[in-house]
């Protein structure tokens, strides 16, 4: 049970960002005392950190967040292996070879995503299917709707190491989303983990 609560705490911080112990307790439906005990343990393991944020009145609020080590608890597609392979590929075939690899991966994903969306006509259905596919790949994706369209929120970057080594992977994913969602859809990236944001977020709207 303790391990399960610990995992749920890490997931909550990953998916929803910095929170107080009280917020975490309410969201997880456990006691604040239990949450604080787990946070103290995670703090010792350097999985979480905190800031004491002053409000207009009263005592400062202690807001908890994941550390870089905490983020590494989530899938990163065997980063050391990936980086080694990318370095080897570049040494053997140059930047051209790396671009061909990215294009090949993009084409494979386009084919599988398009097949999965084959029966979907509505944009809402396509976005839901896309989020499901991304979840299977470790991106911890979710969809939010607003007045103009949808937000595809990816709380984890499962190719972070590869994307850090070559930003062509991020550009490729944006092209991929635009292609599979169709020419009548506008896709823009509004948050980018590799640019310092907590997550990647894509705004998806019907073409005006």
- Mind listing the pLDDT tens digit for each residue in 142-189? 999 988 999 999 998 877 766 666 778 899 999 999 999 999 999 999
Residue 30 has pLDDT above 70, yes or no: yes
CA pair distance 113, 134, nearest whole angstrom: 10
Torsion of CA 6, 8, 14, 18, to 10 degrees: -80
Kindly report the number of other CB atoms within 10 A of residue 13's CB atom. 24
CATH of the domain at 62: 1.10.10.10
Residues 30 and 121 placed together within one structural domain of the fold: no
**Region 103-124: what's the mean pLDDT?**
93
**Region 119-139: what's the mean pLDDT?**
92
Residue 23 has pLDDT above 60, yes or no: yes
Residue 88 has pLDDT above 90, yes or no: no
Residues 32 and 91 placed together within one structural domain of the fold: no
Cα distances (Å, whole numbers) of residue 52 to 44, 55, 82, 138, 202: 18, 10, 38, 32, 31
What pLDDT does residue 190 have? 96
Residues 106 and 171 placed together within one structural domain of the fold: yes
* Angle made by CA atoms 182, 158, 64, in degrees to the nearest 5: 115
Spatial contact of 154 and 198, defined as CB atoms under 8 Å apart: no
Domain end position, chosen among 37, 71, 105: 71
What pLDDT does residue 53 have? 85
Total domains, the chain = 2
The two structure tokens encoding residue 168: 């062509």
What pLDDT does residue 191 have? 94
Does the global pTM surpass 0.75? no
Query: Domain span at residue 89?
Result: 79-206
194 SS3 class: helix
What pLDDT does residue 35 have? 92
Residues 37 and 111 placed together within one structural domain of the fold: no
**How would you classify residue 77: left for phi > 0, otherwise alpha for psi between -120 and 50, otherwise beta?**
left
Read off the pLDDT band of 2 (50, 70, 90). low
Q: Report the greatest alpha carbon distance in the chain.
A: 62
What pLDDT does residue 83 have? 62
Residues 196 and 95 placed together within one structural domain of the fold: yes
Residues 165 and 91 placed together within one structural domain of the fold: yes
Domain end position, chosen among 53, 71, 89: 71
Residues 162 and 100 placed together within one structural domain of the fold: yes
Read off the pLDDT band of 39 (50, 70, 90). very high
Residues 46 and 67 placed together within one structural domain of the fold: yes
Domain end position, chosen among 71, 90, 115: 71
Share of the chain above pLDDT 90, in %: 46
| Contacts of 39 by beta carbon, 8 Å cutoff, 6+ apart | 9, 21, 24, 48, 50, 64
DSSP annotation string for 135-157 = HHTT--EEEEE-SSSEEEEES--
CATH of the domain at 173: 3.30.1380
Residue 77 has pLDDT above 60, yes or no: no
């Amino acid at each position: 049970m303790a391990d399960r609560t610990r995992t749920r705490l890490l997931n909550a911080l990953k998916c929803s960002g910095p929170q107080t112990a009280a917020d975490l307790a309410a969201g997880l439906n456990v006691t604040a005392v239990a949450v604080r005990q787990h946070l103290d343990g995670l703090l010792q393991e350097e999985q979480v950190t905190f800031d004491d944020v002053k409000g207009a009145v009263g005592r400062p609020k202690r807001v908890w967040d994941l550390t870089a080590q905490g983020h590494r608890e989530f899938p990163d597609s065997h980063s050391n292996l990936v980086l080694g392979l990318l370095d080897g590929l570049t040494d053997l075939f140059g930047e051209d070879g790396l671009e061909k690899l990215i294009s090949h991966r993009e084409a494979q994903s386009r084919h599988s995503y398009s097949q999965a969306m084959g029966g979907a006509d509505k944009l809402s259905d396509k976005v839901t299917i896309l989020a499901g596919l991304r979840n299977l790949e470790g991106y911890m994706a979710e969809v939010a709707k607003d007045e103009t369209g949808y937000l595809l929120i990816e709380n984890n970057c499962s190719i972070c190491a590869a994307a850090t080594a070559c930003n062509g992977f991020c550009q490729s994913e944006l092209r991929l989303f635009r292609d599979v969602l169709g020419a009548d859809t506008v896709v823009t990236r509004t948050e980018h983990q590799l640019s310092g944001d907590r997550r990647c977020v894509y705004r998806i709207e019907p073409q005006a």
